[in-house]
Structure 1
Amino acid sequence: MNILFLIVPLLAFSIPVAFAESSNVGTMYWKQEIISSNSFVDIYVHDNDMNKKEYPNFADKFTISVWSDSSPDGLEIQVVETGVYSGIFKGRVFVADSGDTVKNRLVSMPGDTVYAKYVDFTMPDGSTSDIFSAAIVKISGQNMQSLLDNIDPKYRMSSSVEKVPSWIKNNAG
């Protein structure tokens, strides 16, 4: 009987802790820091909190903002989870050096900085956090390191950013 008095309080404490949703700050990065004009470029958002699980067995999705020096108004693009419950979301935008910025097409000249913004609204304290990432549009025949060095380091891809696991890449749609 004494053991029951010990176990019941432990269960009351451990069950809510075991099933509590964790919150974390998301991360975002362009697949390449130097991107080519007139090509598609991928951007990734890692945020396990965005696994809404509202529709089991379906990948989640949401929108982020992208813009460039040449197209400051930019556009909204959709990022889609790379696998059910993966917490890794991928978006794709076409970087063009002429025309109009529409749908998933962003006008950016060589040497432009291309930006992305993700608003993480799943912070532990209920607040939001703006997360940015930046890349440079390549100037043909030129070393781009000086332009990369001008980007705020917190907007650049971290060398510690986890790469997309091969099992997700191989099974992603």
Structure 2
Amino acid sequence: MLQFLLLTLLLFPAFGQSAPDYDNPYSPIFTDKPVYSWTDKMKITIISPSWNSDRHLIDSIGDTNDHPIKISTSENSLEPYRFTETDVNSGIFTAEVILTGFTHDVDGDGNFDTSPRTIGNGPTSGFLEVDRDSAITISFEFADGVVLVESVPVSWNVGTINFMKDVFFLEDAVIVRVVDADMNLNPEALDNLPVQVFSDSDVAGIEVNAVETSESSGLFVATIPLSQNSPSSGNRLYAMAGDDIFAKYDDYTLPKPYSITDNLEIKTSAKVDSSIPSIERIQNSEITFSDGFGNPIQSYTKNSQIQIVGTVANNHDLKQQFVYFFQVKNDKNFVESLSWIQGEISSQQILDVSQSWIPDESGTYEIETFVWNSINNPTALSPKMSTLITVE
């Protein structure tokens, strides 16, 4: 009889799970993040081969009062909460919980933007209300009198904003990016974030809608085309070559030591430029001379007014701000006169600029002309021109 029993066990082996090890329980609890924001989706994993009770079925744990799983903060709780096995005979159990924050206005418009609630019994139906600085505790009664616990913190974050490049050409589309996990208000949908964008040429600017890149990324992106020929409208921003452009938003979800009612302006900047090399943007022609009535002159005498006339041309499809300099030097290379004219030249426009000068002494003079983009941060827009004259 014994030989028959041994032969039967060899040919038809029996399967079963041993009882949970009370002295050395193995059932680690893992979360998909070390820290959560207030409206995140939590993904929780419990590895518990001892609770793989049927190797042919998808098992569940945690949804009984005898061995419950509890997901809780100091004030709110989901209990018991069901976890399901990832596959037959895996011994790995998972569940999800969506954090719903608390009642709060996240954009300063006077309206609450969250729907806090605590409801659900798992494995993916749970919603849990949390505070800004909560801690979430997952406890599993692995066996009678043996409770395994894991905790993770909840915290707000200071957001960041940046342009994708430091310098944009006028023909580029400007891309601005915001990273703020606290504004991922619905982890199962794409959220939106309003961003203010403006330039030196349009300080009022526009408000654009930055859209989350995926359902739970907390990364928001907006694309803004530039125009120097049309005013700002919609998501189009008016800017000129040489402008600084700016993007900002107000962060109303700040961690300690800020208070819950505080907000902080998060801001960034970039430059706008033209792809045309700076030195080629303005054509500067040779100067001419006239008297006070605009009549051309060929000879020059001291103590007589000379009108120095320069000509600039813009042969490109962009407006250009400029400063035109007149500099007169004597034969000892000392500067006798320095003057300038500021202006803006449109696409395909030709402008005459002039300045009067009265020489005090006879001699040879060098008259130089420069075209720069500004006085404070000068960049040459054309090569320097130079002309020699003799004053009798």
Judge same fold: TM > 0.5, yes or no: yes
Matches within 5 A, 1:119-138: 119-124=250-255, 125-126=259-260, 127-138=262-273
Q: Answer whether contact 1:46 1:88 (CA < 8 A) is retained.
A: yes
Structure-1 separation of matches of 2:278 and 2:197? 25
Matches within 5 A, 1:10-159: 17-18=135-136, 21-53=154-186, 56-124=187-255, 125-126=259-260, 127-139=262-274, 140-142=276-278
Give the letter for the 1:38 counterpart. E
* Structure 2, unpaired ranges of 5+: 1-71, 78-133, 137-151, 280-376, 378-392
* Structure 1, unpaired ranges of 5+: 1-10, 144-149, 151-173
For residues 65-98 of structure 1, what are the alpha-carbon distances to aligned partners after superposition, in whole Å with 9 as ceiling and x for unaligned?
0000001110000000001110100011111121
Would the alpha carbon gap of residues 142 and 52 (structure 1) be closer, same or farther in structure 2, given more than 3 Å must change?
Answer: same
Q: Indicate the SS of the match to 1:49.
A: helix
Greater share of helix residues, 1 or 2? Answer: 1
Alpha-carbon RMSD across the aligned residues, in angstroms, is 2.3
Structure-1 separation of matches of 2:159 and 2:245? 19
Give the letter for the 2:227 counterpart. A
Q: Answer whether contact 2:73 2:135 (CA < 8 A) is retained.
A: no
Q: Indicate the SS of the match to 1:59.
A: coil
Greater share of strand residues, 1 or 2? Answer: 2
Q: Answer whether contact 2:225 2:237 (CA < 8 A) is retained.
A: yes
Q: Answer whether contact 1:39 1:96 (CA < 8 A) is retained.
A: no
For residues 23-78 of structure 1, what are the alpha-carbon distances to aligned partners after superposition, in whole Å with 9 as ceiling and x for unaligned?
0100000011100103311100000111112xx52111021100000011100000
Give the letter for the 2:252 counterpart. F
For residues 106-139 of structure 1, what are the alpha-carbon distances to aligned partners after superposition, in whole Å with 9 as ceiling and x for unaligned?
0100000000111111112211110101000014
Q: Indicate the SS of the match to 2:135.
A: helix
Q: Paired residues, what number?
A: 131
Structure-2 separation of matches of 1:72 and 1:29? 18
Structure-2 separation of matches of 1:46 and 1:142? 35
Cross-structure match for 1:163: none
Give the letter for the 1:137 counterpart. V
1:12 offset after TM fit, Å? 7.5
Structure-2 separation of matches of 1:76 and 1:109? 19
